[in-house]
Structure 1
């Protein structure tokens, strides 16, 4: 079925208002929202959780559920008002003309149906294709999304594919009908940064190939920069700024957009000399929105009697420098947008102290049955960690980075006593604890080695107050001689994480995500630990909250001189706060050094690819593009020789088959800088920077 080319706006949203109707009454989710997406254009939609991004997408899909309703404005697709279409017309458009890709790929895949059959359904339902023709198209589209061995993929069930492969199949399914509009709702959030880079390139290439317009929803400004032509920034249900990527990034004209950029770790940010500026206050709940400007209570430029006097409409900026650029700010002409952010207290870099944690030749193997469901058969070995050796010093932040499956979390479990070593040692302040499970560890050892988890929602008991949960930790660690002493210490911990003392009587459901993570930090530091393992502690938080939580961790670390093991896939955060970095791949440490050493050439080829994949929200940044092919191999069947050799772009530079047969030794490149690689020193020395910053004119 050949679709007619449409020259007008693909999507026109005008003054859209969406509300949800509950027992508590009407809850306005989106208000006075407008945006236009032209043919072939990619519009980015960014903002904090709860700002209304996904509600707009569901409004476009006409899928607001029984409680949601459009209460004002219109949504037009190719000039037709979607609200006036019949259910039959909407069914014809959904999937055929408008397709949506969700954050979790398994939400779009049937676990009981093979991939080939699921892909074949699209052309058979929407274009009336025959079974043979649909199979041919499915094969072609699997190859188009760069998946190897298309026949095997078509005959696989979803659970037999990795997360990145599943997301590629969902993208293939969405694009099979060649829709005019593709909506992507955080499509790469759950993926590794290297997989994310491949998905982004794929979406861009396929968008150009099919001429598809896109509405790209994300909280990652760097990702939007790499993917979109235009940008719409949302805050508390409203669009507050919209324009081309270049004008919004470089000539922003709304205080919220400016505050977002100041709270993310761009090149030049430094935890001591140039700390991030967190947005003060909290995101307003729908029934607590202020009068006038929704951002007013958190804005540095708020003027009483002006910003809160009336509703504020979008204002179009005039001049050649602005391309369809609008802002919802009354004072945008008065503000000096080139002024530097208000000076924050600079900190002297804390000198690292003595070695607190020493890990030597750590190995962690798991024995699994070949038939994992029913048992029996040949026993196989999973090599989760292989010969890990490193030290961490007092008051130092050691970052550990790498893709999922590289062994980061297994190592963290060993440090905490949730797993024990197969071989090697873990020495904490002179005591070897590697073979001691947590049940057998002394109370002081447990208190000395604490953890801040990725998801603050899962670490708090929903039926106990915040104060009771912190006091429970103090009791376990034998801190305080009485309930009164422990109660006072609990209040001091709330002060430490910059939360009001009255939060002690609140339940977890009454706290925001960032506030819950602060409670997680308070509990981790309750026993005055020597080492805190932070496993992706800010990845579940909005970027504006990330800055506050990250700086809080740094402040506590400076005061208590705690050693921080920071596990992350976000190299921008790592560059900002880490003193040293350890790069892991398939259970091995492949590079280690100071942050400056690891972020500057020479690199291990894997580190080089990781840096290339990091989305950076700065138009001055130019990156060398290195997209890794394939997925990280299984620790159940690792490749011989170098663990990275199956994906290495520089392997051909090594003579013979050395990479295929021999594990590289750990080499010293400079003082404290080590790489595990066979590349000649001349090749390493000739490496160019992956990330460069162009001078502004």
Structure 2
């Protein structure tokens, strides 16, 4: 099918309604949704999980499955109605004129085919290109997505590539036919922040190069601000605010949009002086939507007579027709004085050292051909000489990309792995070589973990209450079943879950509620140290704020030491007292939160800070995009572990970075970093994040 010329909007969605038909009847997923994507522009579609973002995208692709159906409205692509196109027309359109990039790259890649063959299929099917033309185009597009050694990449299978490389290949595949519309559904959620920055930079550049229009679906408001021209905010199947992105960010006119921004730890947020304001209540299920405004039960400005009676329409602002909102009280709310959290929290006094780690190493021996278990033994250096202390009531954040050794360190501390060398002393006891099944009950209960994915950590066949009671039994807490049941109910109170949830199965809970159950279980044995491994990364923005707030409240009550493992530096800046930055098994910077987030920086810390998307138009950031992926721990580079990607390497004479591992140098009281750069160069660094004048 040949692309056709058209000088109007690329995509026009008007009053779209989509329902899914189940045994329970019709469930409306999207209602009265409208948006326009202009040529060469990017529209950001944001909102919480379940709000209908991906359903809109699948509606545009006309790929709603057996149960999904468009029950009203219009979707026009280049002026032509998609809803009435034949399957033949749609088949030629998909992948040629309209392309989609999914959140998980392996959902789009065939694991049994080499990358080159998969890329070549696109022009050969859609443009009837010859094999040589398709190969040449594949080489060009792989170079366009900034993958080095394109010939090797094309001759590789998907499993031989990293997650960032896989996502770039999926983007290359989408661009092979130079589509007019590119739909991106959370394309960077599973990627590290530095890789995410490279992908975002790439997508923006390719959009400009090819003139491609984009529908960018995300729950990350900072990412949308960097990428898009316009924004549409969705809540419970409806568009609730839309307009040019800077106008919406600077002049929010819907309570939900405003509440989302209050849930994000922007620069300047402080867990004691300026805490986040969480959104009360829970996201409504499709069959439990209230009358009137869907957001009404959670809204600070709700008025039953105005908001709870009739359907509320999307209307343009009186003084700006490019900006629209679905709020019945838009002209009655004082938008300049939003609700704020009571800043009555006392900062907790940091106590004595609870956990002391000294020169800890963890190496794994693997066969050169691990698949068949033969060949020369090789060593994976997961942790290299890690030293730190963590004190009572302190939050120590451990940050870095996937593969840097954060989770391996956690496994050693929890007794899931033995250390190869060094010591880890918890409450006066060396634990580095004692596996969990050999530890005393008191030692096991004193250090517990909150996992990243709440969905995989609960038994689906056991009630919530029973799972917490089981933890109490293991930790020998309580004298009898009745006592433990009361303690279980107390733990549900502690994590702010209704007591009736004790009888529910995990499938009946939302993601945030499941994570609260995981937290209750971690605190069941009165843990002195809690290792929180990416505890909010799988949760929506508003739920992240509530779970983060809960962790800090429990820490204050119990004087818990928290090791907060994360790659999200926005959350880290908000919650942590000190920060430890890791790269390829090494600690490269350590200090208080203020010290690490201000110059001088280790070059890796500087790049991490530059990569964090910030949902604030008043913030200006230094732009650093790292080349390449984190090296393999099986074959680390010589000298400084970061030297293969360092943006300042040329400042060091005699190739010292490639020859010698730098020692930790003391920059100021408590602030250390591992770098060959001179003190003068480090001292002259400017802040990465700055408020604009």
TM bracket, shorter-chain basis: over 0.9
2:8 equivalent in structure 1: 8
CA-to-aligned-CA distance 1:663-695 (integer Å, 9 cap, x gap) = 000010000000000000000000001110124
Q: 1:375 aligns with which of 370, 373, 376?
A: 373
| Structure 2 counterparts to residues 338-417 of structure 1, below 5 A | 338-417=336-415
**C-alpha distance in structure 2 between counterparts of 1:134 and 1:515, whole Å:** 49
Query: Is 1:688 the equivalent of 2:686?
Result: yes
SS at match of 1:8: coil
SS at the partner of 2:604? helix
Q: Kindly indicate whether the alpha-carbon contact (under 8 Å) linking 2:355 and 2:426 is maintained by their aligned counterparts in 1.
A: yes
The C-alpha deviation readout for 1:158-192, integer Å capped at 9, x for no partner, is: 11110000100100110111111000000000000
Q: For residue 17 of structure 1, what is the aligned residue in structure 2?
A: 17
Q: Which runs of 5+ in 2 are unaligned?
A: none
Alignment correspondent of 1:47: 47
CA distance in 1, matches of 2:515, 2:641: 35
For 1:656 and 1:332, locate their aligned partners in 2 and report how far apart those are by CA, in whole Å: 64
623, 626, 639: which one aligns with 2:624: 626
Q: How does 1:495-514 map to 2 (within 5 A)?
A: 495-514=493-512
* Aligned positions of 1:25-104 closer than 5 A: 25-104=25-104
Further displaced range: 232-241 or 114-123: 114-123
Paired with 2:177 and 2:341, the residues of 1 have a C-alpha distance of 53
Residues 1:593 and 2:591 aligned together: yes
- Decide whether the 8 Å contact of 1:275 with 1:346 is kept in 2: no
What residue number does 1:151 align with? 151
Between the aligned partners of 1:7 and 1:349, the Cα distance in structure 2 is 59
In structure 2, the partner of 1:121 is: 121
* Change in CA separation of 1:501 and 1:280 when aligned onto 2, cut-off 3 Å: same
Contact 2:18–2:31 (Cα < 8 Å) also in 1 = yes
- Conserved 8 A contact 2:241-2:254: yes
- Give yes or no for contact 2:230–2:243 (8 Å, CA) kept in 1: yes
Structure 1 regions of 5+ residues with no counterpart? none
Query: Which residue pairs with 1:214 in the alignment?
Result: 214
CA distance in 1, matches of 2:142, 2:356: 47
Indicate if the aligned counterparts of 2:185 and 2:216 stay in contact, CA closer than 8 A.
Answer: yes
Q: Deviations over 1:297-325 (max 9, x none)?
A: 00001111110110001111132xx3611
Report the more deviating stretch, 255-264 or 2-11.
2-11
Residue in 1 that maps onto 2:633: 635
Aligned match of 2:462 in 448, 461, 464? 464
Please name the residue that 2:229 is paired with: 229
Q: Distance in 2 between matches of 1:291 and 1:310?
A: 7
CA distance in 2: counterparts of 1:98 and 1:343, whole angstroms = 44
Separation of aligned partners in 2, 1:373 and 1:176: 34
What is the Cα deviation at residue 346 of structure 1?
2.3
Partners of 2:649 and 2:344 lie apart in 1 by: 44
Q: Deviations over 1:409-464 (max 9, x none)?
A: 00000000000100000000110000101110000000000000001111111111
CA contact (8 A) 1:244 1:323 kept: no
Structure 2 distance, partners of 1:499, 1:135, is: 57
Kindly state the Cα deviation for residue 2 of structure 1 after the two structures are TM-superposed: 7.6
Q: CA deviation at 1:514?
A: 0.5
Q: Secondary structure at the match of 1:377?
A: strand
Q: Distance in 2 between matches of 1:11 and 1:2?
A: 18
Cα shift at 1:594: 0.3
Report the counterpart of residue 453 of structure 1 in structure 2.
451
Instruction: Give me the whole-angstrom Cα distance separating, in 2, the residues matched to 1:341 and 1:148.
Output: 50
Deviations 1:569-589 (A, max 9, x none): 100000000000000000000
Partners of 2:404 and 2:583 within 8 A in 1: yes
Residue 268 of structure 1, CA deviation: 1.2
Contact 2:276 2:341 in 1 (8 A): no
Task: Provide the C-alpha distance between the structure 2 equivalents of 1:328 and 1:340, rounded to a whole number of angstroms.
Answer: 18
Equivalent positions of 1:495-534 (< 5 A) are 495-534=493-532
2:269 matched to which residue of 1?
269
Q: Secondary structure at the match of 2:545?
A: helix
Aligned to 1:582: 580
Name the counterpart of 2:429: 431
Name the structure 1 match of 2:671: 673
| Offset, 1:343 | 3.8
How many angstroms apart in 2 are the aligned matches of 1:344 and 1:161? Answer: 48
Measure the CA separation in 2 of the matches of 1:293 and 1:357: 50
**TM-score, normalization by structure 1:** 0.99
SS at match of 1:411: helix
Secondary structure at the aligned position of 2:306 is classed as coil
Q: Spell out, residue by residue over 1:594-636, the C-alpha distance to the aligned partner (whole angstroms, 9 max, x if none).
A: 0000000000000000000000000011110110001100000
CA RMSD of aligned residues (A): 0.9
CA distance in 2, matches of 1:670, 1:435: 34
Distance across 1 between alignment mates of 2:169 and 2:374: 34
Distance 2:356 2:322 in 1: 57
SS in 2 for 1:657: helix
Q: How does 1:479-490 map to 2 (within 5 A)?
A: 479-490=477-488
Q: Could you tell me whether the CA contact under 8 Å between 1:412 and 1:533 is conserved in 2?
A: yes
Residues 139 and 343 (structure 1), Cα distance of their counterparts in 2 relative to 1, 3 Å cut: closer
Report the CA distance between 1:131 and its aligned residue. 0.9
CA contact (8 A) 2:277 2:341 kept: no
Q: Secondary structure at 2:242's aligned position in 1? A: strand
Greater alpha carbon shift after TM alignment, 333-342 vs 684-693: 333-342
**Take 2:572 and 2:475, find their aligned partners in 1: how far apart are those partners?**
31
| Match in the other structure for 2:252 | 252
Deviations 1:324-365 (A, max 9, x none): 111000111111111042342421211210000000000000
SS in 1 for 2:291: coil
Deviation at residue 537 of structure 1 after TM alignment: 0.3
Determine the C-alpha separation between the residues in 1 that align with 2:249 and 2:15.
24
